[in-house]
């Protein structure tokens, strides 16, 4: 979630629908209903690696010894199946399922992601064009402005909450780039990745964080601004990484004591505390101790805003930087370069593009054996019931994640009874040749909460 980024992402402009603003004559309920098809619920399965942070807004819904199920939210940006969510929703997932507004469930593939921005784009293959959102301008948001969030809080299903913008430019992670929107519209665990809408039905934020002193759902709701999300997604799509602008300076916000020390009437601008050798700033003549007041036509309100402006400037563009040195104001042209990629990747190594997360499939992970006649009673099997014994399970395999353990008995594959290990293998082969992604097994588990067997679906490796 909330990783520090250089805030940032672009929208895929060609995917934006025609404006909805004003279409409903103030009918808020009709507006909200029209937006529900743009929002999806996301369910992922991950390795069991401890509790989730109380600062993100993802929710845990179930688990076994090897895996946990988490839920989150997302929204459509392309009718062909591109969906935005938070990176922390998909991080380390070995299975992604997306539930559309009509109730249909589709497998998802993570295509691009930025860890620092906590943004990801996943893709589904829908049977029909999906309804994409319309982006709004988060730079025009005002404290007190009404907004509403749509998502999957606590995994209960699509829900709507309303409130106002409670604050802007929040620096929750103490990062130079944080610029979160704070809202009192309820954002609970499971809302992660869902949209924050303005009253024109435009997305102005990506619901991301719940800052809470407890593991509960009480706290402050935060969202990534839409202009950040659009920048990051566009950069990922174009380059495979954020490719931020860079001029090679370290800056600090001017405080009141600093202003007095420098003979300034009021604290404004950012003071340069370091200039990297051979960087664009050094080449342009910027020096340690300079106070940057303007970056192009903008007067950044703090050092984080200045850094965000630098990051989002197109590489190669020349920017006029206005600064004060020894009480004299001057303007220097600076050619913005790309952040050195090797250095950037230590912060936010890019994920391979076009890599389906769902295709990283461990083997079924099952060792099988026939059940000796003398042992059938031991496993609670009647004489007329077949079955194949699970004699071992590979740790970390799909079978282990789904709760199959040594000593379980497989009774059926799909609808067919099995009596020998060859029956199991032939059924797996047949389903793989049929290009199925999963196979159903009726399993009598050695340790079970309720009497009788249970169906378990295992992922088939090498299936299309």
Judge whether 193 and 204 are in contact, CB under 8 Å.
no
Q: Are 121 and 84 in contact (CB under 8 A)?
A: yes
Within 13 Å and on the Cβ side, how many CA atoms surround 289? 6
Instruction: Give yes or no for a contact between 281 and 153, defined as CB atoms under 8 angstroms apart.
Output: no
Q: What is the CA radius of gyration of the chain?
A: 27
Instruction: Report how far residue 138's alpha carbon sits from residue 225's, in angstroms, rounded to the nearest whole number.
Output: 6
Q: Which residue has the tokens 């800052």?
A: 211
Residue 88 among the catalytic residues = yes
Neighbours of 6 (CB within 10 A): 29
Catalytic residue among 52, 66, 88, 427: 88
CA torsion 6→350→274→323, rounded to 10°?
Answer: -40
Tell me whether residue 118 is one of the annotated catalytic residues. Answer: yes
The DSSP secondary-structure symbol of 143 reads T
Exactly one of 118, 178, 227, 302 is catalytic; which is it? Answer: 118
CA 153 to chain centre: 15
| Residue 434 DSSP symbol | T
Decide if 303 contacts 246 (C-beta within 8 A).
Answer: no
Closest CA to 208 of 186, 191, 229, 183: 191
Query: Shortest CA distance to 67 belongs to which of 418, 442, 362?
Result: 362
Give Cβ neighbours of residue 342 (< 8 Å, ≥ 6 apart). none
Establish whether 384 is a catalytic residue: no
d(CA 92, CA 47): 7
The active-site residue out of 52, 67, 192, 427 is 192
Determine contact, residues 244/339, Cβ cutoff 8 Å: yes
- The greatest distance separating any two alpha carbons of the chain, rounded to the nearest whole angstrom, comes to 97
Query: Which own/partner contact pairs does 26-33 have at CB distance under 8 Å and 24+ positions apart?
Result: 28/199, 31/199, 31/201, 32/148, 32/150, 32/160
Nearest C-alpha neighbor of 146 from the set 307, 26, 279, 300: 26
Catalytic residue list: 88, 118, 192
């Amino acid at each position: 979630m909330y990783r520090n980024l250089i805030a940032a992402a672009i929208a895929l402009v060609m995917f934006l629908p025609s404006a909805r603003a004003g279409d409903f004559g103030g009918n808020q309920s009709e507006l909200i209903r029209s937006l529900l098809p743009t929002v999806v619920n996301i369910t992922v399965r991950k390795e069991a690696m401890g509790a989730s942070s109380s600062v993100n807004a993802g929710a845990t819904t179930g688990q076994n010894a090897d895996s946990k199920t988490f839920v989150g939210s997302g929204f459509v940006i392309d009718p062909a199946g591109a969906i935005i969510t938070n990176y922390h929703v998909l991080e380390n997932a070995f299975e992604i399922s997306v539930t559309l507004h009509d109730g249909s469930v589709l497998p998802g593939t993570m295509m691009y992601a930025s860890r620092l921005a906590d943004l990801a784009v996943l893709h589904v293959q829908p049977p029909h064009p999906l309804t994409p959102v319309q982006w709004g301008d988060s730079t025009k948001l005002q404290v007190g402005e009404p907004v509403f969030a749509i998502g999957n809080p606590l995994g209960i299903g699509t829900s709507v909450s309303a409130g106002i913008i409670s604050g802007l430019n929040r620096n929750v992670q103490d990062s130079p780039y944080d610029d979160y929107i704070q809202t009192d519209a309820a954002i609970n665990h499971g809302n992660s990745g869902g949209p924050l809408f303005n009253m024109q039905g435009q997305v102005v934020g990506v619901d991301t964080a719940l800052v809470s002193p407890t593991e509960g759902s009480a706290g402050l709701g935060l969202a990534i601004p839409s202009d950040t999300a659009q920048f990051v997604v566009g950069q990922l799509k174009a380059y495979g990484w954020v490719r931020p602008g860079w001029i090679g300076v370290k800056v600090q916000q001017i405080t009141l004591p600093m202003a007095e020390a420098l003979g300034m009437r009021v604290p404004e601008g950012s003071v340069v505390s370091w200039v990297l050798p051979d960087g664009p700033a050094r080449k342009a003549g910027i020096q340690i101790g300079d106070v940057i007041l303007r970056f192009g036509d903008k007067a950044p309100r703090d050092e984080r805003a200045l850094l965000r402006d630098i990051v989002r400037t197109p590489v190669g563009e020349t920017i006029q930087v206005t600064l004060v040195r020894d009480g004299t104001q001057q303007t220097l042209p600076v050619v913005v370069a790309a952040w050195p990629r090797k250095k950037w990747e230590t912060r936010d190594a890019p994920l391979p593009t076009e890599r389906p997360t769902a295709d990283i499939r461990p083997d079924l992970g099952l060792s099988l054996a026939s059940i000796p006649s003398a042992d059938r009673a031991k496993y609670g099997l009647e004489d007329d019931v077949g079955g194949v014994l699970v004699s071992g399970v590979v740790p970390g395999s799909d079978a282990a994640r789904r709760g199959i353990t040594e000593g379980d008995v497989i009774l059926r594959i799909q609808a067919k009874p099995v009596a020998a290990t060859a029956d199991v293998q032939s059924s797996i082969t047949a389903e793989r040749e049929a290009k199925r992604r999963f196979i159903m097994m009726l399993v009598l588990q050695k340790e079970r909460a309720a009497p009788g067997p249970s169906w378990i679906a295992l992922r088939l490796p090498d299936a299309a």
